[in-house]
Chains A and B, each alone.
Chain A
Amino acid sequence: MDQNKQGEAAEGGNIGHPAHGKNQEEQSNPMIAPTNPPKKKSLEEQLNDFWAAQREEAKMTTNFKTHSLPLSRIKKIIKTDKDVKMISAETPVVFAKACEMFIKELTIRAWANTEARKGKILSQRDLVSAISQTASFDFLDDIMPKDAGLPRTSIASTENAYLNMPPQQNVAGLPYDAPTMAFPNLNHHAPN
């Protein structure tokens, strides 16, 4: 179902093209659209729509001055790889767009997991599950917390924990040493 609905969702790149603001809104409609209460789009359909929207959006972009993510931060992250000497000015621009797509794809997949377990909060385990289900996300396995699989054996208590003890969940979800440890391996990471 291809429906455009009025919405306030608009990205910097779409400022001059409200039609794509609607198109972007369409991405979230399948999950809440009242016109389709009995059936929601499958994850595959959502992703197909998402990628079609990305291609259309890329064609229509006119504002390259505003990015969803700061280029300076992207440069710093790129430069954590000591082997990288120089990067062209276009490289962080392309990464800004790529990371936006990455965040969105990961969010779509994770939210599908949230819905599958009848949850209302997109949580870390939804992300861990989405990553384990997606081949192109294999490179993320090393930085995923190992204990994230544990809550799946006791959904009820986990739900309570999320609702009643968010600070504790924060503590449990702070593996900040792990990414740092993992970075040296990145330089020699072989593709699957």
Chain B
Amino acid sequence: MAGVREQDQYMPIANVIRIMRRILPAHAKISDDAKETIQECVSEYISFITAEANERCQREQRKTVTAEDVLWAMEKLGFDNYAHPLSLYLHRYRKTEGEPASARRASASASPSMQMHPRTHPHSHPPNYSHHGFGMFDFDPSSQGFYRDDASSSGSGGFVASFDPYANIKRDPL
């Protein structure tokens, strides 16, 4: 294993294995090289889809890659099977989580019943999940180039802020 930075290029292996086991028979075993290969495949998949989605963004002179861009890229790149359930998933997400940015800001300050997690990540981790067990998050925007154009998205406040650009032109794929 290389340094922390390389670790950050891949999904945590425990999460990957957990997902694999849900789909495999109970007696199945997974070799270590297969685990690592899948990690690499997942990162490659994200980058592959992202590149296509981003190209569409740039053609349309937009700066923010949206969920619709991702779904569009998947259909274009042969992942039609994914785009359909993901459209349903996104639709439900918006009905339960994706209230308009202004309402979200208001509800956040008014302590909504569904409270945002105080941690940096706007989501909770599954039981037994250990972030740091797979390498510390050595987050340094200046050295890694992460979030250099979107620094606000690194915090929970940024989660809200990043909705603003699309508050008025959100499209419903369904």
* Interfacial residues, chain A to chain B (CB-CB below 8 A): 9, 11-12, 24, 27-28, 31-32, 50-51, 54-55, 57-59, 61-62, 64-91, 93-95, 97-108, 110-111, 114, 120-124, 126-128, 131, 135-136, 139-140, 143-145, 162, 166, 169-170, 172-176, 178-180, 182-183, 186-189, 191-192
Picked from A87, A94, A179, the residue with its CB within 8 Å of the CB of B90 is A94
B30 touches A121 (CB 8 A): yes
* Interfacial residues, chain B to chain A (CB-CB below 8 A): 2, 6, 8-12, 15-16, 18-20, 22-34, 36-38, 40-52, 54, 58, 63-67, 69-71, 74, 76-79, 81-82, 84-86, 88-90, 92-94, 96-98, 114, 117, 120-126, 129, 131, 137, 145-147, 149-150, 153, 159-160, 162-163, 165-166
Picked from B15, B37, B47, B82, the residue with its CB within 8 Å of the CB of A81 is B47
Nearest CB in chain B: distance from A96 CB, A: 8
Picked from A54, A98, A124, the residue with its CB within 8 Å of the CB of B70 is A98
Nearest CB in chain A: distance from B150 CB, A: 5
Given known contacts A73-B11, A95-B46, A98-B49, A27 and B31 CB-to-CB distance under 8 angstroms: no
Nearest CB in chain B: distance from A137 CB, A: 8
B98 touches A87 (CB 8 A): no
B85 touches A101 (CB 8 A): yes
A80 touches B9 (CB 8 A): yes
Question: Which single residue of chain B is at the shortest CB-CB distance from A172?
Answer: B33
7 A-B pairs in the complex with CB atoms less than 8 angstroms apart: A27-B23, A77-B46, A80-B47, A87-B153, A127-B38, A143-B44, A183-B47
Picked from B24, B44, B49, the residue with its CB within 8 Å of the CB of A179 is B44
